[in-house]
């Protein structure tokens, strides 16, 4: 029982960063800006969250800096794609290369290392225990030691749903994503909307970055984002940019990652276990597409 | 006078699109601007609507000189335009499309109830019936156009420009549209109608401008003119009609037997059987979207049919690859020259080579012969009078008519027994159109079997020896040359049947 | 005219901007950028031994670049070069070490195995696309990670170097290939033969693109897939053929790194060096032109090799090179020059039109 609760708990922790990034990916895909720089953005923001916290010991400032860095990266991404007509794939890969180089560079300049920085005296994000659940044995483990941002991720999914599907601004964003020229023929400045929307949604990647470096203890490891940006891209692809659907598809990936981790120490070698989330991603997309195609053929 | 345009001139690169054009519109009037493709009528309206800026000239709306930077500026003074290509959000509802940019809000939220109610009110006031909650994707073309009109009315436009509004409509929908236009004029709106369909012009307009080569060449009151005068003013000379010898019937070269296609669970083609003989042009008449494209895709191998047979030259090629079907003796001028018929970013040489990439002398054992390809491209360009500067320039740099001529040249030079022509003259000028028609007739003389698909009924009627009418994926009628008139055809095209009219 | 401006000036400007920004970064950590770049250039091209190091490093980058040229020219934006290179390297290490044939025969066998591994892995992503509509972006990125972990598993367990001392090793590795199973240098003190094969591969690719109907078909497929289909080009055949060739290039690239340089597969050796990504940047700088890719690969390899000299002599982290590389790519992606030139042209036209 405790084991199960721990697995669920670790699943939730795996879900939330992916969910936050997927929510940003959702906005980007709705306004037709193909963002593959998610990975690099996540890496940069998690590094700067850690860096700020390391020097200033201020958790709020760290979160703010991480969000700002993520928004900055997303702003560059969307400007290059929307205004300068850059090829989205290349813009994204360029920013990812840059992020990998830049974080490792600063890591070696500041901390004189290329591996992990794990200062023992530095605390992570404040843990937030739910009042009643804290006393229930099973659930206390399930929801144990989650941070405010973990809960916020799910709240944000709902908020993003309301913004995108119930408000005027969300309506306009979805519409211009469907038909850019129709929107601009009615006097909408499409590039400006695209850049603003993607940049603002980039702040959610900043939150995800905080979870990576400050979620448990404060620490930074080279390449800490570990393809979560790409996985989030896949998750968003599965839910077709719907914020509530993102909760489900992120859960799938979170679960496989947690599963792989919980199987460590069994007969299956660790390196093979690490493949599981990536295999699951491909499999999920293949199954989903096969299912969608079959459904379309059956429909009368 | 609700607006006046004075001495407007507009050039694109070196082409003069509008040359010192002056026109005006009175309140409550229906004004038509007629002219061939490329006569500059769309350009002048785009200038009025803020989509283009004039090089020189003045626009006066409501007594004041205006300077439009974009359509919003034009809309702000009450000018709206129903564009030829609809500007709609497919996956959204009618009401959402209409209120976009001027949403009815409740705080930051969309007020969907009020939106639907407002749209319903407008649609009732102007008698343009529509379900505000229907999705655009589910609306037929006529309704989509209605949404475009309502969108403009919702923004309180006083001047409404229609750009070739009937191009995509069925004959019945055209009737409804003309009635709508009259109704709008009665309600005090001022209308500009851009078209090259003279029957419609005569049916609704009060006044007509004729444009040719960027200039206004005539202004007439509709009551004082007729179709033949307008046609002559438009073209600049009396229209030539084709002299066609009666067909010399030959063997059947193209045949389909009970062809069927299911697409996403919908039956797009239902039991299509047709044949085309040597030395014959056979037209397929129908409102676009009734299965013509699917039929051609199934014949040419671009799509796998789900039943029936296709025979080319007596050989069963059902669901073979495009390569095999082409090798069996079929060439294909596709319906959309930039989607299927060419690679706009490729050179003319590359575009000319297509379908011959494995044939001698252009390639042997996988190695291509650039010299042969160059010579061939140059020959096509010369023979078909394609206006191009070099065989290595990009396809997209050619004008639509010249690009189409190159495609026609490529497919005709294959010299196949069967030739499929889909919309061979869509959107190109009269000169190029005549050239292409003459080539088709010459191929017919040479004994080719030609299948012609066109949404221009006049093109079908003037060229075809036989006509099949297609409606909702089914052949609903067959006519010989001379035994048809466009009223019957028109009726069949929308699912009516002869003898049951009125 | 504009075309020439585009293909020559844009890379130059992109390189210039990125080096300027790199200089800012170097300044910030208190070093002299001019000295640093001097070190970098000297370390990359200054002596024969440095130049040979650069060419050695360029070898897998060239192959990665060709893999990208191959696939992207046909419109398949696959980024699986890394995974294919890893599997190619592992296959070469495996065959080179275990295949019971004489050494001289093992080299071609190992290269063949590497090419096959790359091709199969590349075609697998094609199959996912063909059969399940899984987009290349996602499938290839995921497959890269899977290949890397799988290779890590192999060299940690079944293929682990039997002579390795568990406690000394930083990274797991496979057994060291015997002397006669390595690609020898062209001549003493020169780069190994892998570089020559890579140059040959460049020429072959160029020939394929320019002189064969395959090149025509793949280009048409990339420019307008529907047009290619309409003209009777078998899209599915082209998909697998193009991806297989692309995989062959990447796989061979991996084998050169094993046979010519490391003599074994070391865990993370492809992943951490980013050869495939650098190859992609090179292909991009060259606008998918194979010969341009060769030159760009050598330049980018020089950046990395010179970067290590810079790191040793001036204590500037190597990653400055990644930063520069990223910025070059970013600025290459934008069509700034074309846009700027277009604006000037339009303005001039508008002005001219106004005067008449």
Q: What pLDDT sits at residue A54?
A: 94
Number of separate domains in chain C: 2
Q: Any chain A CB within 8 A of the CB of B69?
A: no
Q: CATH code for B252-493?
A: 3.40.50.300
Confidence of residue B500 (pLDDT cuts 50, 70, 90): very low
The pLDDT tens digits for B200-218 are: 889 999 999 999 888 999 9
pLDDT higher than threshold 90 for residue A154: yes
Which residues, 6 or more positions from B386, have their beta carbon under 8 angstroms from its beta carbon?
A: B348, B380, B398, B402, B405, B406, B409
Where is average pLDDT lowest: A45-49, B37-41, C207-211?
B37-41
* C350–chain B Cβ distance below 8 A for any pair: yes
Q: Which DSSP symbol is given to B242? A: -
Q: Are residues C169 and C257 in the same domain?
A: yes
The yes or no reply on domain B3-235 and CATH 3.30.565.10 is no
- The answer to whether residue C355 sits within a structural domain is no
The mean pLDDT value of chain C amounts to 88
For helices C290-314 and C48-73, angle between their N-to-C axes, nearest 10 degrees: 140
User: What are the chain C neighbours of B56 within 8 Å (beta carbons)?
Assistant: 353-354
Rounded Cα distance between A239 and A27, Å, is 12
Q: Which two tokens stand for residue B382?
A: 């010369």
Which residue among A85, A93, A108 sits closest to C329, beta carbon to beta carbon?
A: A93
Q: Mark A240-260 as b/e (b = at least 16 C-beta within 10 Å).
A: ebbbebbbebbbbbbbbbbbb
Query: In chain A, what residues touch B72 (CB-CB under 8 Å)?
Result: 186-187
For the cut 90, the answer to whether the pLDDT of residue A166 exceeds it is yes
What is d(CA C197, CA B313) in angstroms, rounded to the nearest whole number?
Answer: 50
Beta bridge mates, B422: B453
Mean pLDDT is lowest, of A169-183, B3-17, C256-270, for B3-17
Q: B304: helix, coil or strand?
A: coil
Distance in Å, alpha carbon of C248 to nearest chain A alpha carbon: 23
Distances (CA, A) of B311 to B322, B324, B469, B495: 13, 12, 20, 28
Give the span between the Cα atoms of B180 and B173, in whole angstroms: 10
pLDDT over 50 (residue C347): no
C354/A20 Cα distance (integer angstroms) = 53
- Could you tell me if B58 and B253 are in contact, meaning their C-beta atoms sit under 8 angstroms apart? no
Mean local confidence (pLDDT), A157-162: 97
Q: Which residue, among A84, B318, B183, B425, has the nearest Cα to C10 in the 3D structure?
A: A84
- Give per-residue pLDDT as tens, A200-223: 999 999 999 999 999 888 899 988
* Strand, helix or coil for residue A87: coil
| Cα B279–chain centre separation | 27
- State percent of chain A over pLDDT 70: 99
CB contact, 8 Å: A172 with chain B?
Answer: yes
Which of A39-53, B163-177, C110-124 shows the lowest mean pLDDT across its residues?
B163-177
Calculate what percentage of chain B has a pLDDT beyond 90.
Answer: 59
Does residue C210 share a domain with residue C181? yes
Q: How far is A63 from chain B (nearest CA, A)?
A: 27
Element (H, E) at A11: helix A2-30
- Taking the CA of residue A180 and the nearest CA in chain C, the distance in Å comes to 20
DSSP C265-299: -BTTTTTTTTHHHHHHHHHHHTTT-HHHHHHHHHH
Taking CA–CA distances from B263, the nearest residue in chain A reads: A297
Nearest-by-CA chain B residue for A185: B71
C148 and C292: one domain?
yes
Q: Is the separation of the CB atoms in C231 and B352 below 8 Å?
A: no
List pLDDT tens digits, range A85-99: 888 988 998 999 999
Q: How far, in Å, CA of C182 to CA of C96, rounded?
A: 9
- Same domain flag for C124 and C138: yes
Q: If we measure between CA atoms, which residue out of C6, C3, C5, C7 comes closest to residue C291? A: C7
Q: Beta strand pairing status for B418-422 and B79-82?
A: unpaired
Q: Domain A2-290 belongs to what architecture?
A: Orthogonal Bundle (1.10)
Distance of alpha carbon B336 from alpha carbon B284, whole angstroms: 17
Q: What is the ipTM of this complex?
A: 0.88
Are the Cβ atoms of C334 and A80 closer than 8 angstroms?
Answer: yes
Report residue A33 as tokens.
Answer: 């800006």
The beta-carbon neighbor of B323 closest among C234, C349, C353 is: C234
CB C337 within 8 A of CB C3: no
Mean pLDDT, all residues of chain A? 91
Domain range summary for chain B, segments of one domain joined by +: 3-235, 252-493
Q: Write out residues 82-121 of B within 8 Å (CB-CB) of A.
A: 83, 87-92, 96, 100-101, 103, 105, 108-110
Instruction: Give the per-residue pLDDT at B472.
Output: 87
CA distances from C71 to A45, C80, C136, C178, C270 (A): 33, 10, 11, 35, 20
C-beta neighbour count of C220 within 10 angstroms: 27
Which residues on C lie below 8 Å from B321 (Cβ)? 232, 234
Distance, CA of C320 to CA of A106 (rounded, Å): 10
Domain span at residue C138? Answer: 33-315
Residues ≥6 apart with Cβ < 8 Å to B46: B52
- Candidate from A279-293, B155-169, C72-86, C153-167 with smallest mean pLDDT: C153-167
Q: Is residue C300 part of a domain?
A: yes
The partner residue sitting opposite C323, judged by closest CB among A105, A237, A271, is: A105
Give the contacts of A57 (CB within 8 A, at least 6 positions apart).
A122
- What is the pairing mode between strands B207-212 and B30-34? parallel
Residues C21 and C43 in one domain: no
Cβ distance C227 to B354 less than 8 Å, yes or no, reads yes
Same domain, C49 and C1: no
pLDDT in tens, B339-370: 999 999 999 999 999 999 988 889 888 999 99
> What's residue B502's pLDDT?
36
Q: Give tens-digit pLDDT for B280-319.
A: 999 998 877 788 999 999 999 999 999 999 999 999 999 9
Mean pLDDT of A57-82: 96
The residue of chain B nearest to residue C237, with distances taken between CA atoms, is B321
CA distance B137 to B141: 10
User: Are B368 and C353 in contact (CB < 8 Å)?
Assistant: no
**CATH (domain of C177):** 1.10.3470
Contact (CB<8Å) B110/A167: yes
Q: Which residues of B touch C234 (CB under 8 A)?
A: 321, 323
Tell me whether residues C211 and B368 touch, CB distance under 8 A.
yes
- On whether the CB atoms of residues C40 and C288 are closer than 8 A, the answer is no
CB contacts of A293 in chain C (<8 Å) are 133
pTM, 2 dp: 0.87
């Amino acid at each position: 029982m405790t084991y199960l609760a721990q697995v669920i708990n670790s699943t939730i922790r795996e879900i939330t960063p992916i969910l936050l990034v997927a929510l940003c990916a959702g906005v980007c895909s709705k306004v037709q800006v193909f963002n593959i720089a998610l990975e690099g953005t996540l890496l940069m923001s998690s590094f700067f969250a850690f860096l700020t916290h390391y020097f200033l010991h201020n958790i709020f400032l760290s979160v703010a800096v991480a969000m700002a860095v993520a928004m900055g990266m997303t702003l560059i991404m969307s400007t290059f794609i929307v205004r300068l007509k850059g090829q989205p794939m290349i813009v994204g890969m360029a920013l990812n290369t840059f992020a990998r180089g830049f974080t490792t560079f600063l890591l070696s300049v500041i901390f004189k290392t290329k591996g992990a920085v794990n200062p023992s005296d530095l605390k992570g994000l404040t843990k937030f225990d739910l009042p009643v659940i804290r006393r229930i044995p099973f659930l206390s483990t399930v929801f144990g030691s989650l941070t405010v941002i973990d809960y916020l991720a799910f709240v944000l999914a709902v908020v993003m749903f309301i913004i995108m599907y119930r408000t005027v601004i969300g309506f306009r964003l979805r519409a211009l994503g469907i038909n850019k020229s129709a929107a601009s023929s009615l006097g909408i400045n499409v590039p400006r909307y695209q850049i603003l929307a993607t940049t603002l949604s980039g702040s959610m990647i900043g939150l995800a970055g905080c979870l990576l470096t400050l979620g448990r203890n404060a620490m930074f490891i080279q390449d800490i984002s570990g393809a979560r940006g790409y996985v989030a891209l896949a998750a968003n692809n599965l839910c077709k940019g719907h914020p509530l659907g993102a909760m489900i598809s992120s859960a799938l990936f979170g679960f496989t990652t947690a599963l792989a981790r919980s199987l460590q120490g069994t007969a299956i070698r660790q390196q093979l276990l690490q493949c599981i989330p990536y295999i699951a991603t491909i499999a999920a997309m293949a199954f989903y597409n096969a299912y969608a195609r079959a459904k379309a053929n059956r429909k009368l | 006078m609700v607006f006046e345009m004075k001495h407007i001139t507009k050039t694109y690169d070196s082409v003069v699109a509008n040359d010192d054009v002056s026109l005006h519109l009175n309140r409550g009037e229906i004004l038509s601007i007629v002219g061939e493709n490329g006569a500059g009528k769309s350009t002048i309206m785009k200038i009025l609507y803020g989509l283009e800026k004039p090089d020189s000239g003045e626009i006066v709306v409501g007594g004041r000189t205006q300077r439009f930077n974009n359509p919003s500026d034009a809309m702000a003074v009450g000018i709206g335009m129903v564009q030829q290509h609809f500007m709609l959000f497919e996956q959204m509802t009618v009401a959402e499309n209409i209120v976009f940019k001027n949403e009815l809000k409740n705080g930051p939220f969309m007020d969907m109830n009020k939106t639907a109610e407002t749209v319903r009110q407008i649609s009732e006031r102007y008698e343009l019936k529509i379900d505000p909650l229907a999705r655009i994707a589910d609306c037929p073309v006529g309704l989509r156009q209605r949404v475009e009109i309502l969108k403009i009315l919702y923004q309180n436009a006083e001047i409404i420009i229609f750009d070739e509004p009937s191009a995509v409509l069925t004959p019945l929908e055209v009737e409804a549209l003309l009635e709508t236009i009259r109704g709008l004029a009665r309600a005090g709106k001022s209308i500009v109608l851009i078209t090259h369909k003279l029957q419609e012009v005569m049916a609704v307009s009060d006044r007509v401008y004729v444009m040719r080569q960027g200039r206004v060449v005539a202004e007439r009151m509709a009551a004082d003119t007729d179709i033949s005068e307008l046609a002559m003013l438009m073209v600049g000379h009396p229209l030539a009609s084709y002299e066609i010898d009666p067909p010399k019937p030959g063997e059947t070269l193209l045949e389909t037997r009970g062809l069927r296609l299911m697409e996403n669970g919908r039956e797009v083609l239902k039991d299509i059987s047709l044949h085309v003989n040597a030395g014959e042009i056979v037209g397929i008449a129908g409102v676009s979207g009734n299965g013509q494209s699917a039929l051609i895709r199934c014949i040419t191998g671009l799509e796998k049919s789900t039943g029936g047979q296709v025979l080319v030259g007596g050989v069963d090629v059902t669901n073979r690859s495009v390569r095999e079907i082409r090798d069996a003796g079929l060439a294909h001028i596709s319906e959309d020259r930039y989607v299927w018929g060419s690679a706009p970013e490729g050179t003319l040489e590359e575009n000319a080579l297509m379908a011959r990439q494995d044939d001698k002398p252009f390639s042997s054992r996988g190695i291509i012969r650039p010299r042969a390809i160059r010579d061939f491209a140059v020959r096509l360009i010369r023979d078909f009078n394609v206006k191009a500067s070099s065989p290595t320039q990009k396809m997209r740099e050619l004008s639509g008519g010249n690009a189409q001529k190159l495609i026609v040249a490529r497919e005709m030079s294959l010299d196949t027994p069967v030739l499929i022509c889909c919309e061979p003259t869509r959107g190109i000028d009269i000169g190029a159109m005549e050239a292409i028609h003459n080539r088709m007739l010459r191929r017919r003389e040479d004994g080719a079997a030609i299948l012609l698909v066109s949404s221009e009924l006049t093109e079908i009627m003037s060229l075809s020896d036989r006509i099949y009418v297609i409606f909702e994926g089914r052949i609903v009628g067959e006519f010989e040359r001379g035994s048809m008139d466009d009223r019957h055809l028109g009726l069949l095209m929308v699912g009516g049947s002869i003898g049951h009219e009125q | 005219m504009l075309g020439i401006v585009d293909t020559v000036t844009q890379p130059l400007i992109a390189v210039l901007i990125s080096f300027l920004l790199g200089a800012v970064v170097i300044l910030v950590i208190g070093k002299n950028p001019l000295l640093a770049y001097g070190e970098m250039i000297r370390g990359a091209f200054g002596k024969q031994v440095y130049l040979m190091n650069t060419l050695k490093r360029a070898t897998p980058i060239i192959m990665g670049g060709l893999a990208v040229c191959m696939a992207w020219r046909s419109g398949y934006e696959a980024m699986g070069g890394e995974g294919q290179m890893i599997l190619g390297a592992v296959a070469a290490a495996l065959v080179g070490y275990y295949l019971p044939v004489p050494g001289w025969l093992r080299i071609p066998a190992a290269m063949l195995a590497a090419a096959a591994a790359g091709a199969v892995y590349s075609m697998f992503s094609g199959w996912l696309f063909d059969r399940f509509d899984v987009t290349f972006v996602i499938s290839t990125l995921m497959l890269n990670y899977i290949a890397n972990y799988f290779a890590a598993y192999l060299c940690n367990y079944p293929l682990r170097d039997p002579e390795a001392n568990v406690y000394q090793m930083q990274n797991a590795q496979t057994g060291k290939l015997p002397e006669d199973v390595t690609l020898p240098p062209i001549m003493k003190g020169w780069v190994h033969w892998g570089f020559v094969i890579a140059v040959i591969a460049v020429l072959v690719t160029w020939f394929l693109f320019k002189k064969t109907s395959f090149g025509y078909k793949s280009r048409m497929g990339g420019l307008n897939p529907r047009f290619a289909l309409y003209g009777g080009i078998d899209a599915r055949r082209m998909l697998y053929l193009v991806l297989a060739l692309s995989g062959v290039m990447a796989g061979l690239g991996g084998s050169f790194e094993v046979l010519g340089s490391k003599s074994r597969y070391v865990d993370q050796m492809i992943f951490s060096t980013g050869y495939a990504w650098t190859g992609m940047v090179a292909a991009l700088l060259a606008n998918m032109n194979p010969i341009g890719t060769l030159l760009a690969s050598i330049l980018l390899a020089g950046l990395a090799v010179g970067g290590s000299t810079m790191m040793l002599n001036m204590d500037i982290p190597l990653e400055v090179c990644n930063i520069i590389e990223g910025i070059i790519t970013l600025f290459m992606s934008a069509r700034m020059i074309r846009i700027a030139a277009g604006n000037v042209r339009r303005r001039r036209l508008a002005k001219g039109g106004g005067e008449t």
